[in-house]
Each structure stands twice: as structure tokens, then as C-alpha cells.
Amino acid sequence: MFNAPFDSDKQNNNNIYTDWLYQTPRDVRLLMAIVYVETMSGDIQKLDKLPTHLHESLDVIHRIKGGAGQIGLRYIEQLSIETETLGKAHSSAYVSSLVNLIQSIKESIETVEAWIDNEQAALVSVA
């Protein structure tokens, strides 16, 4: 299953939200995108409910940071690191960083959903 080649030549240059998909073997890329959307959507719902609960929010942010790092989504990983650091320091900049992180994740979800739609349409046209 994991022996399909990478095809980074088809990468959508300059898309910080989908570049990581092209580092994933072709045969699991669509599944990874679907899992990403489901997981991040759940994390966003949790963060939306927990903005005043610092400890619980930091747990979710830490998980996002780790997941983003694992798949190579560096932009979200860096925003998560910044937000987590500010939260741990009880910085007044934490809330604005959290808002920025949430907005960026929502944008990434929308972008990956569009990517999924394109991929599924391409599969249907081939079939």
C-alpha cells in the first residue's frame, strides 16, 4: 500500500496548506487529506468551546502541533508552537495568536476540502 511513488512535480506551488500532501505516497494521499479535514475540524470545534480554559486549549494546540509536524504542514506547526508558547507564558498575546491559529486551520481545511473535491472529480473522470 505504501509503495506508490511520490509525484512532487504535480505539486501546487506556493500552497502552504496542500504542499504536505505531495510528500505523501500517491495511493494514500486522498485518505490522508480526508483524515486531516476530519481531525482538524474536530480540533477546531474543541478550541472554539475552550478559549477561556487554558490548560485544555493547550492540550489541543499541542496535539495540532504534533500532527502538523508529523505530516509536514510547517505553517500550522509554527503557528501552533507560537500559540502554545504564548499560552504557557500566560502572555496577553495568546488570545490573538489563538485566533490566528484557528483562522489558519479553518483556511487549511477549506483548501484541503477543495483539493479533495478536485481529486475525487479526477478519479471519477478516469473511471
* Interval 90-124: pLDDT, tens: 999 999 999 999 999 999 999 999 999 999 888 87
Write down the mean pLDDT value for the chain: 87
Least confident of 3-7, 40-44, 53-57, 67-71: 3-7
| Chain-centre distance for alpha carbon 70 | 10
User: Pick from 22, 46, 3, 36: which is nearest to 109 by CA?
Assistant: 36
pTM listed for this prediction = 0.84
Residue 113 main-chain phi, psi, to 5 deg? -60, -40
Q: Does the pLDDT at position 24 exceed 90? A: no
Q: Does the pLDDT at position 5 exceed 50? A: no
